[in-house]
Amino acid sequence: MGKKNAHKGANPPSGFRKYAGLLFRSQTGTIGFFILLMILIIAIFAPHIAPYDPTSVDLRGMRMPPFWMEGGSMEHILGCDNLGRDLWSRIIYGTRVSLLVGILSVLLAGAFGIVLGMVSGFYGSWIDSVIMRVTDAFFAIPRILMAMVVLMVAGSSVGVLILIIGGTSWVPFARMIRSEVLALKEKEFVKCSRSIGTKGTVILLRHILPNVMSSFIVLCTMNIAGNIISEAALSFLGVGIQPPTVSWGVMLAEGRKFLGTHWWIGTFPGIAITISVLGIMFLGNWLRDVLDPRNQGIK
């Protein structure tokens, strides 16, 4: 991809090293990268990192506060919830659902959106009108409402959750890719290719797709953050992930009931969501600065 973008800048990027160098020059980019790396490691090695089974009930530790408070102990550093389950272990396992749903739903939405956006922008005419009106309609229905209706009828599981979050979040992809394609279509290299009789689909795949990839990657990253929040929101409302599966949204919903007396149960899962989303946003912002030529020079 680096080589294909070469005509745009004076210094063609030279692969991994160049990007690694750029990453460590950006403070927020570095922070974002390490946060995401940390979350990935935690999610993959959750059983080895978590000190306890996230679902094992221990009545002796019921509502134990975090270690720095009176009554807390180092055995449960973030304390326990109303059933005596270790909060730290639950947060560790919660990363799994969040990342799984976040990443897979974005891939689904991205695939759907990129196809619709490219077809709409490239072929124009009535196809474009139809796709854009459908996009408008999907944009007008608040995503979370749509997701709730489907989850209510279909019942909820991780699979349905991924499908529905992905299936309702493709609109920004379609809109952005379409506008990029509209601009690219007028570029010399596309016109040249057309004039020598290249077929439309070949132009789309060979000339246009590589050029929208950088915006696509940026949008994907940004949307992972949004979709993690969507999953947490749906689980919080009781229609997403169902206990005993551990999810940050479920933990928040449980914590909400004990706000008056045991603040930590509802506080730590929210901090976990905020840190993960922050990390992903930082990385996304950095990617945008690096990959998107339009943003070059703007800090």
Partner 1 sequence: MGKYMRRRLLQVIPVLLIVTVVVFFMVHLSGDPTSMMLPQDATQEARENLREALGLNRPLHVQYWIFIKGLFQGDFGISHKYNAPALPIVLERIPASLELCAVSIVLSVVIAIPLGVWAARAHGTPFDSLVNALAVLGQAMPSFWIGIMLILLLGVKWTLLPVSGRGSMAQLIMPSVTLAIGTSAQIIPLVRSSMLEIVHEDYIRTARSKGLSERTVIYRHAFKNALVPVITMVALQIPALFGGALITETIFAWPGLGQLMVTGVTNHDMAIVQACILMITFITIVVNLCADMLYCLIDPRIRM
Q: Which is nearer to partner 1, 5 or 28 (CB)?
A: 28
Report the half-sphere exposure of 184 (CA within 13 A, side-chain side).
25
- Establish if 161 lies at the interface with partner 1 (CB under 8 A): no
Report the half-sphere exposure of 5 (CA within 13 A, side-chain side).
20
Nearest alpha-carbon partner for 95 in 268, 258, 295: 268
Biggest CA-to-CA distance, the chain: 78
- Establish if 298 lies at the interface with partner 1 (CB under 8 A): yes
Q: Under rule CB under 8 A, how many of the chain's residues touch partner 1?
A: 46
Q: Which is nearer to partner 1, 138 or 198 (CB)?
A: 138
- Establish if 131 lies at the interface with partner 1 (CB under 8 A): no
Nearest alpha-carbon partner for 283 in 227, 228, 229, 223: 223
As measured in angstroms, the least distance from the Cβ of 94 to partner 1 is 13
CA distance 152 to 73: 41
Among residues 103, 107, 144, 213, the one that binds partner 1 under rule CB under 8 A: 144
Q: For partner 1, which stretch binds (CB under 8 A), given 69-77, 90-98, 148-156, 191-199?
A: 148-156
- Establish if 31 lies at the interface with partner 1 (CB under 8 A): no
As measured in angstroms, the least distance from the Cβ of 145 to partner 1 is 5
CA distance 196 to 141: 44
Report the half-sphere exposure of 284 (CA within 13 A, side-chain side).
18
Give kind and range of the element (H or E) at residue 113.
Answer: helix 87-123
Among residues 150, 158, 203, 212, the one that binds partner 1 under rule CB under 8 A: 150
- Establish if 94 lies at the interface with partner 1 (CB under 8 A): no
Take residue 97 and report the two structure tokens written for it: 């659902």
Binding-site ranges for partner 1 (CB under 8 A): 133-134, 136-146, 148-155, 225, 229, 232-233, 236-239, 252, 255-256, 259-260, 263, 266-267, 269-270, 273-274, 277-278, 281-282, 298
